[in-house]
Amino acid sequence: MHLPRIALLLAGCLAAANAVAQALTCPPPPAGRPCEAFHYHVSMFRPDTRAFTEIYGGPRFATQAACERAREQQVSANQKVAGFFRDVKKEERYQPDRFGACHCDMTEEKSSVTFLTESQRTLQLRMTEEIRLRVRERLLDEKITSDSELIRALYSDPPVTPTLGAPKLVPMPTVTRAPIVTVADDLKPTRTLDTTKPTVVALDLPILEIGAPASPPADVAASSPPPPVPTPAEPPVEETRVEAQPSVEAQPDPQPESTNEDTQTAEETAERFISYETQRIQNVLRASSAIADENVKTKIFEACMERIQLLSNLRLLIEGSGMRSRLATAARDAQTEADRLALVSRLFGDSVKPHWAPSDASDVVFDIESSIASEPERALRDSTGRFTADQKKRALYLVLAQTQPTEDQRLWLSTVVEGLLR
């Protein structure tokens, strides 16, 4: 009867000795293979037998750091319990648990000596809980209350990442309709429009030299329609002074169409403004005919041609941007000469203003700095701050004066102009 007891005792002693001797680690993984999980072994002290039991089927961790944190937490909790028995209750034979270092968990590696089947792992879990319960029982026996810090320390589990506990069926997010981004570049331009420049007609028809009348003047019958009212002859140009203001007859307001009143009105505005300015530049041209210096004359002619191109483009912008656009509104409101020049100044800068309505024909000519003149569109599009606002206005003058913008460019130019007038 005593023999088995002694044998058991010996076996227990041997097991305890083994536990002490154990390194509390798994064999290392094969070289070069990354570690997928970390854990630590615990040699748990069982108070009833005073033996140690090695547990290595506990929690697994994705990182060494997480493993270390959990281990430290458990070491600290266990020290409180062991400290209670050793220091308060003076049970010197009560041992704290022994914790191995965090290392690569090989308990799922079949070739490893520490491999655990599911049932072996469950057995280890059960063993852990039985030892904990025995410690709990000892603590309760020592009149430690069941909600005390010491009892809670027995069951200190690592904190759980909250994100992982999110519900499996997630409600649809509240759909806030994202604004639909529409840029004109999404669209295709129409190719059905005749984009050829208007040509001068009847160029092949000769202008006749008229010396003496080729045919005798006709005897105009009373029944014949009256001859067209002759255009009053211009007085000979004596100097290069330009008429202060062109005289363009005010046109009656057209009756707006019920369908697209806006466009009609914008066209009307464009017609009024541009006609006035066209007449102004024609006055300049006319005045330039009195200049003897051919070089100056040529320069004036070129400046006037550019101005005419600019006015043509400006007309398209006014018409295209609609009646309520800032451009059309400003053009419509520009009733006096001062208003017109103010608008010109806002669009093309103060430096262009004196050349817009020159008192002398030669003043229509002006130069713009080469940095802008070489690539005006680039200057206008620049967003790096390399060009000042005034330089950009001059660039706008050049773009309008020297190019025939495509529809897309006109769209962009409208935006630029609206910006200048904001």
Partner 1 sequence: MKAKVKRSKVKVLARLAAVLLHFSLLPFAFGQEAAAPNTEEEFTKAVFFGKKFADLGEYNSAQEQYAKADALKPDQPAVLYNLAVVLARAGRYSDAQVKVDRYLQLFPEGAEKVNVAKLQLELQFQRELQKKRQADQEYADLFNRAKFTYARGELDDALRLFRQAEQVRPNDPASVYNQAIVFEKQGELTQAIGRYRRYAELEGDLDLKASIDERVFTLQREVDDMRTKIVCSFCGRKLPAGAMWCERCWHGPYPVQSAVWNSRPCVEGASATRATYYSDQRFNKNDILPCLWKDGTMLESLRYSAARQRAIQDARKAEGWMYQGDVLQGNREVQYHQGADYLEKVTSTTGGEILTYLAHAAGVGAWLLDREDLVIDASRYTNQYTYDASGRIAQQRVDYQNTAACNHLIAMTADYAYNGDALASVAIKGGYEGYVPEGAPKTDWQANVAYAYDDKGRVTNEELTVTSLIKTYTQKPIGALRDEVGRLYAGMRVKKPVESVQRTGDVCASAGATLLSNPIDLRPFYAMSPNLAIQLPNGVTKAVVTFAYPP
Q: Which of residues 277-336 bind partner 1 (CB under 8 A)?
A: 282, 286, 289, 319-322
Among 228, 235, 252, 385, binds partner 1 (CB under 8 A): 228
Mark 13-33 as b/e (b = at least 16 C-beta within 10 Å): eeebeebeeeebbbeebeeee
Q: Are 28 and 104 in contact (CB under 8 A)?
A: yes
Question: Rounded distance, CA 213 to CA 217, Å?
Answer: 8
Contact status: 50 vs partner 1 (CB under 8 A): no
Asked if 213 interacts with partner 1 (CB under 8 A), we say: yes
Distance CA(302)–CA(401), nearest Å, equals 11
Specify the residue, 194 or 367, whose C-beta has the smaller distance to partner 1. Answer: 194
Total of chain residues touching partner 1, rule CB under 8 A: 102
Q: Does 12 bind partner 1 (CB under 8 A)?
A: no
CA pair distance 255, 265, nearest whole angstrom: 9
Please compute, for residue 98, the number of CA atoms within 13 A of its CA located in the half-sphere on the CB side.
16
- Which runs of E-coded beta strand occur in 234-284? none
Residue span 73-92 as binding mask against partner 1, x where in contact by CB under 8 A, dash where not: --------------------
Cβ 20 to partner 1 shortest distance, Å: 25
State the maximum Cα–Cα separation within the chain, in Å, rounded to a whole number: 164
Decide if 286 contacts 237 (C-beta within 8 A).
yes
Decide whether 165 or 385 has the Cβ nearer to partner 1.
165
Separation between Cα atoms, residue 153 and residue 141, nearest integer Å: 16
Identified binder of partner 1 from the candidate list 10, 184, 244, 248, rule CB under 8 A:
184
Which of 1, 218, 222, 292 binds partner 1 (CB under 8 A)? It is 218
How far apart CA 303 and CA 345 sit, in angstroms, is 18
Among 1, 3, 21, 175, binds partner 1 (CB under 8 A): 175
34 scored as a contact of partner 1 (CB under 8 A): no
C-alpha distances in Å from residue 98, one per residue of 61, 68, 86, 186, 272: 19, 15, 15, 71, 99
How far apart are CB 56 and partner 1 at their closest, in Å?
16
The answer to whether residue 163 forms part of the interface with partner 1 (CB under 8 A) is yes
Nearer to partner 1, 154 or 341 (CB): 154
By CB under 8 A, the residues from 243 to 272 that bind partner 1 are 260, 263
Query: What is the spatial distance between Cα 43 and Cα 56, in angstroms, rounded to a whole number?
Result: 9
Site string for partner 1, 105-134 (x = CB under 8 A): -----------------x--xx--xx-xxx
The Cβ-side half-sphere exposure at 154, using a 13 Å CA radius, reads: 21
Closest CB 82 distance from partner 1, rounded Å: 19
CB atoms closer than 10 angstroms to residue 342: 15
Instruction: Mark the segment that binds partner 1 (CB under 8 A) among 10-18, 34-42, 85-93, 327-335.
Output: 34-42
Q: What is the footprint of partner 1 within residues 337-396 (CB under 8 A)?
A: none
**Cβ 68 to partner 1 shortest distance, Å:** 9
If you compute the radius of gyration of the chain from its CA atoms, what whole number of angstroms results?
49
- 93 contacts 50 by C-beta, under 8 angstroms: yes
Residue 214 sits in the site that holds partner 1 (CB under 8 A): yes
Q: Name the nearest CA neighbour of 132 among 46, 39, 49.
A: 46
- DSSP summary character for residue 154: H
Stretch that binds partner 1, among 152-160, 239-247, 359-367, 397-405 (CB under 8 A): 152-160
By CB under 8 A, tell whether 38 contacts partner 1.
yes
Residue number, 355 or 410, with CB nearest to partner 1: 410
Could you say which of 34, 217, 235, 385 contacts partner 1 (CB under 8 A)?
217
Decide: is 160 part of the binding site for partner 1 (CB under 8 A): yes
Binder of partner 1 out of 234, 249, 294, 367 (CB under 8 A): 234
Contacts of 368 (CB under 8 A, 6+ apart): 394, 397, 398
C-alpha–C-alpha distance, residues 393 and 376, integer Å: 10
- 201 lines the binding site for partner 1 (CB under 8 A): yes
Give the position of tokens 């202060």: 244
Residues in 391-420 that interact with partner 1 by CB under 8 A: 407, 410-411
Q: Which of 15, 25, 29, 69 binds partner 1 (CB under 8 A)?
A: 69
Name the one range near partner 1 by CB under 8 A: 13-21, 215-223, 342-350, 374-382.
Answer: 215-223
